[in-house]
Structure formats: C-alpha cells, structure tokens
C-alpha cells in the first residue's frame, strides 16, 4: 500500500543526535570493537548511576547494582527470569508493551494481567491490583509513562500501591524507558519510595529519550542480590551489550542533554496538536502526560478497535494499532504514536476526519 | 519572556505562516492569549520581521554571495559603531557583524556577479575611512542556512509497525 501515514511505529522519528553518532564513529576508527565487561563499561555504568541520581533521585551503585543490556527488551527478560520460579504468578499492568507476558511464560511463570482503566487516566490503582493478588503472586510489572496509553503514575499514585506491595511481599519490575518523555510535572521513579527501593528492579534505556532504538542499549538497576542473579543470565545470553552502543550511550549522557530536551519539547508540541485534533473529531482522548502515544477511544464510532484500525488503513491509509493487541483493557481504543512530523499528524487527522464522515 | 513566549518564538521562527489557532494549541494557551503575545513580541522588536529561507541557487537565481572580512581602526568614543552604521546602509549588505579574532567586521554581500561584488568592495567599502584591509571570499555552495539543510537526504526506512 502506498502513501500510508503510519502512527503504528513505537519509535522516535528523529535520528540519533549527531554528537552521539560522531563519538561512536570515532571509537570504531580507534579500534574499540571488543567485548566489554559483562555488566557494561565502567564509564557507562558510572554515568548511568550519576544520571539517575541527578535526574530522578534514585541511587544505584555502578559496580553491584547496574547491568547494561541489549535494550530494555533484554533487561525485562533477564529481570523476569531472575525473579520468577516455575508456578509463580507475575502481575502485568495492562494495556502494555507486548513482551512482558510472553517473557513470564518463558520463565515458567503464569502472567496475570491487571487492568488500568480510561476513567483513571490509565493509572494502576490499588483496588485493581488487590483483586489480582493470590498467595502465589511473586511480582508486578509496570510501565509508566505507559506504552500504549501515555498514562503516568505520580508520587501519590505509587504511594497508594506501595503498602500493598510491601504487605504482600511482592517485587516490582518498573520499566521506565519513557521517563524522559514526561510532559506535565516530573517523572517519579517508584524506587524513590524507601520501602520499595530494595524490592524494585528499575529498567530504563536510551532508545526513546535519545532516539537510539537501533543501538540496543538499556539497563537494569536493582539491589545487589537481584543484580547478581540477572547478571548470570545476561552473561550467558548476551555476554555484553554492543560496545559501539555503549560508547554512544555514554556520549548521550555526557553531551546529549540539550538535543534530548529539544526532542522532548517537540513531542509535547505534537501531543498538543494531535490530541486536540482527536478530541475535535469526537474521538475521546485523555491528555497523555508521558511517552509518545495517544490512546483515543473509538467507541463513539460503533466499531471495535480492530475494525476501526483495519478500515482506517484500508480506506484512508492511516495505520494505528488496535488497543486490544496490547491487552484486553485496551479494547475500544487505538494506539496512535505521535512520533511523526507535525505535517504528517495534521494530514493523518484530516484523513481520520474524512474516514469518520464516511462511516457516519 | 516566559516559557510560552519562547515556544511561540521558536514556532514562528520555524514557520511564520502557522495559523495563530494552531500556535495556541501547540503552546497550550488560548487563541487570544497567543495573539496578544505575538503582537507584544512584534511591538518590542523581538520579532524583527517574517520571511522565508530561500535556496536561491535551486530557485534558479544566478546571484553571487560573498563573505567579506574588514579590518577596521576603531574611532575614539564610538568604536566600530559609526563605521558599521555606514556599511549597513548599503542594500547589498545582507548581514554585518562585529567579530572577535583576526578581523573586525564581517559582511555578507549579495550581487549579480563576482565582478559586481569585487567592484562594490573596491569602490564602496575599501576606500572608506578607517578600513585598513579587506578580504573577499565567494561562497561556492551553501549546505545549511539558518538551521535548514539544503541538500536532500534519503529518508531512513523505519518498520511500518513496532510495539
């Protein structure tokens, strides 16, 4: 199909900041092509530790509490495998990225989904969580700012859940890869809550914030005993993250902040434009406070999310992701990634308007 | 200038033809507020004027542009300001800056031919009082202008879908 505007792509449309690319090219010219320490280069781990402290206030020892991974995808996998025993139930806050539940199954655990609802602006509530906990529950996986809803959890929201996690002795795997893409207020990292700190595995990476998806660099931060367990898996499955990516990531933290901030400002403008447009079209959409996804309801059209996405693609050549693909609580919504240019967003909105007129 | 003004200025600098309604949505202010702010920024001179970034070569124009460096003896009490003021009055001079380093004033001059530019420099600029030395550099090709890259780059292919 020609002339498709894809709002289905979960990655930045920006190219990695040039200062970051240059440093990596130079390192290749210098011959930095070998394995690194399993955990990642000491320079990068040190930089990550300082960055997390200054940016979000979380403190992790670069030697014993941080592993650099092949993207957050690998970090999520080894975190899940490190803490899941066969038969364990692992809660997954939904809707969410597609890999968590399969990873739990691959680890021999049973994934149990916890719905986050539109009426709560897609936050995870203690009530929803409590309903899903059984004596076999081991951990909770949560991703805020959230893919696909753009929902965020603020400090008070996490505090509401913290007691429950402590009371039921659950671990928390917190995927914060969209942390930098938080538009109204600051990102709150649950590991900032003292009672959660030592039961939380924080995952983050460079793909979204620094437009570095193809470099495959993420990281896992956790107390030493969990980190040691995850490292055993990491060293067998990946040995180490790619060295060029690690060097690039170090540069991103060292000198990439201004370009990162400029990208975040641009995402915010796009969000404002796109969400305003969706609501004007009658596709009800809460204002997503993070990530780069709008998650409008398509219920007003009388179509299911899958019907809507298929017809919209067929008739107006705009691609969106049906929310039900990302969890049953996403049904009735579609995920639109606004990581495309404002001109394309305007064109997508006008095509969606034409589509809605045609199905009235 | 507050954060909203900054956003509006950046948006106008990027594309001054963006409708005010859209600027307001982007900057998260009301349409009236956006209008008031823009009027104020225009009135204070923060917005000097609205224009386009033109790739004249691509447009088919044969004009020549040169960077001209001037070494100037500053005047007591006025420094470089009075001589700079005289030079700005020539319409051929598109920009004029006082620089640190080996020379003092830098001009961007556009003319219909190299010969015309050479004539302008030798007859109009060089003979002025206090100009000690001139150096003319003809621009051969422009790669980037005011933040806009002129060369075409191939779009990087992305996956049509990724979760």
B72, B38: one domain: no
Q: Give the pLDDT band (50/70/90) at residue B57.
A: confident
B72, B141: one domain: yes
Q: Give the pLDDT band (50/70/90) at residue B151.
A: confident
CB A269 within 8 A of CB A37: no
Q: What's the whole-number mean pLDDT along residues B27-43?
A: 97
* Domain definitions of chain A by residue range: 5-14+258-359, 18-255
The rounded mean pLDDT for chain B is 93
Tell me the chain A residues in contact with residue B158 when contact means C-beta distances shorter than 8 Å.
6, 9, 11, 13
B78, B100: one domain: yes
B73, B18: one domain: no
Q: What CATH number is given for A5-14+258-359 in this structure?
A: 3.90.1150.10
Q: Does the beta-carbon distance from B26 to A273 stay under 8 Å?
A: yes
Judged against a pLDDT cut of 80, whether residue B156 lies above it is answered with: no
Q: Give the pLDDT band (50/70/90) at residue B96.
A: very high
Cα–Cα distances in angstroms (integers) from residue A204 to residues A98, A179, A254, B35, B158, in the given order: 17, 8, 17, 41, 22
For residue B22, is it within any domain? yes
The rounded mean pLDDT for chain A is 97
Average pLDDT of adjacent 10-residue blocks, chain A of 360 residues: 92 94 95 97 98 98 98 98 97 97 98 96 97 98 98 97 97 98 96 98 98 97 98 97 97 96 97 97 96 97 97 97 95 97 97 95
Q: Which residue has the higher pLDDT, A168 or B61?
A: A168
Q: Does the beta-carbon distance from A6 to B7 stay under 8 Å?
A: no
CATH number at residue B26: 1.10.10
Q: What CATH number is given for A18-255 in this structure?
A: 3.40.640.10
List the single residue in B with minimal CA-CA distance to A4: B160
The ipTM estimated for the assembled molecules is 0.76
B75, B132: one domain: yes
Q: Give the pLDDT band (50/70/90) at residue B160.
A: confident
Coil vs helix vs strand at B159: coil
Q: Which domain holds residue B95?
A: 56-145
Interface test with chain B among A269, A325, A341, A346, by most B beta carbons within 10 Å: A269
B32, B68: one domain: no
DSSP secondary structure code for residue B71 in this structure? E
**Residues A266-291: pLDDT tens digits?**
999 999 999 999 999 999 999 999 99
B65, B121: one domain: yes
SS3 per-residue string spanning chain A: CCCCEECCECCCCCCCCHHHHHHHHHHHHCCCCCCCCCCCCHHHHHHHHHHHHHHHCCCCCCCCCEEEECHHHHHHHHHHHHHCCCCCEEEEEECCCCCHHHHHHHCCCEEEEEECCHHHCCCCCHHHHHHHCCCCEEEEEEECCCCCCCCCCCHHHHHHHHHHHHHCCCEEEEECCCCCCECCCCCCCHHHCHHHHCCEEEEEECCCCCCCHHHCCEEEECCHHHHHHHHHHHHHHCCCCCHHHHHHHHHHHHHCHHHHHHHHHHHHHHHHHHHHHHHHHCCCCCCCCECCEECCECHHHCCCHHHHHHHHHHHHCEECEEHHHHCHHHCCEEEEECCCCHHHHHHHHHHHHHHHHHHC
Interface test with chain A among B10, B158, B159, by most A beta carbons within 10 Å: B158
Count of domains forming chain B: 2
**Residues A141-188: pLDDT tens digits?**
999 999 999 999 999 999 999 999 999 999 999 999 999 999 989 999
Give the model's pLDDT for residue B153.
Answer: 77
List the single residue in B with minimal CA-CA distance to A318: B160
């Amino acid at each position: 199909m020609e002339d498709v505007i894809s709002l289905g792509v979960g990655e930045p449309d920006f190219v990695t900041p040039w200062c970051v690319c240059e440093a990596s090219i130079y390192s290749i010219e210098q011959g930095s092509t070998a394995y690194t320490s399993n955990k990642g280069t000491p320079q990068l781990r040190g930089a990550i530790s300082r960055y997390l402290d200054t940016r979000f206030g979380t403190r992790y020892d670069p030697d014993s509490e941080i592993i650099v991974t092949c993207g957050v995808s690998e970090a999520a996998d080894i975190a899940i495998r490190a803490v899941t025993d066969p038969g364990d139930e692992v809660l997954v806050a939904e809707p969410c990225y597609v890999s968590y539940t399969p990873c739990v199954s691959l680890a021999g655990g049973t994934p149990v989904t916890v719905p986050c609802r539109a009426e709560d602006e897609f936050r995870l509530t203690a009530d929803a969580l409590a309903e899903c906990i059984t004596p076999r529950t081991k951990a909770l996986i949560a991703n805020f700012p959230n893919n696909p809803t753009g929902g965020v959890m603020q400090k008070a929201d996490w505090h509401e859940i913290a007691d429950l996690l402590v009371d039921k002795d659950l671990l928390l795997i917190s995927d914060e890869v969209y942390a930098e893409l938080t538009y109204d207020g600051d990102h709150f990292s649950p590991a900032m809550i003292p009672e959660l700190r030592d039961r939380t595995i924080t995952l983050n990476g460079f793909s979204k914030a620094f437009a570095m998806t193809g470099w495959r660099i993420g990281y896992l931060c956790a107390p030493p005993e969990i980190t040691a367990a995850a490292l055993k898996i990491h060293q067998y499955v990946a040995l180490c993250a790619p060295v060029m990516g690690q060097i690039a990531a170090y540069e991103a933290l060292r000198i990439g902040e201004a370009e990162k901030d400029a990208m975040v400002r641009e995402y915010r403008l796009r969000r404002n434009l796109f969400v305003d447009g969706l609501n004007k079209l009658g596709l009800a959409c809460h204002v997503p406070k993070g990530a780069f996804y709008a998650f409008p309801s398509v219920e007003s059209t009388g179509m299911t999310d899958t019907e809507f996405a298929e017809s919209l693609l067929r008739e107006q050549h705009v691609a969106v992701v049906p929310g039900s693909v990302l969890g049953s609580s996403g049904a009735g919504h579609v995920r639109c990634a606004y990581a495309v240019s404002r001109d394309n967003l305007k064109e997508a909105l006008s095509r969606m308007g034409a589509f809605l007129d045609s199905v009235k | 200038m507050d954060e909203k003004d900054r956003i509006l200025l950046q948006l106008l600098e990027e594309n001054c033809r963006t409708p005010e309604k859209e600027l307001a949505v982007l900057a998260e202010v009301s349409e009236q507020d956006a209008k008031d702010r823009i009027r104020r920024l225009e009135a204070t001179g923060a917005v000097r004027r609205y224009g386009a970034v033109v790739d004249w070569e691509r447009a088919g124009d044969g004009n020549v542009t040169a960077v001209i460096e001037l070494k100037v003896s500053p005047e007591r009490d006025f420094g470089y300001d009075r001589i700079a003021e005289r030079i700005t009055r020539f319409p051929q001079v598109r920009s004029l800056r006082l620089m640190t380093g080996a020379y003092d004033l830098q001009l961007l001059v556009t003319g219909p031919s190299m010969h015309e530019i050479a004539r302008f420099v030798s007859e109009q600029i060089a003979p002025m009082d206090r100009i000690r030395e001139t150096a003319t550099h003809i621009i051969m090709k422009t790669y980037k202008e005011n933040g806009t890259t002129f060369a075409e780059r191939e779009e990087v292919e992305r996956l049509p879908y990724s979760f």
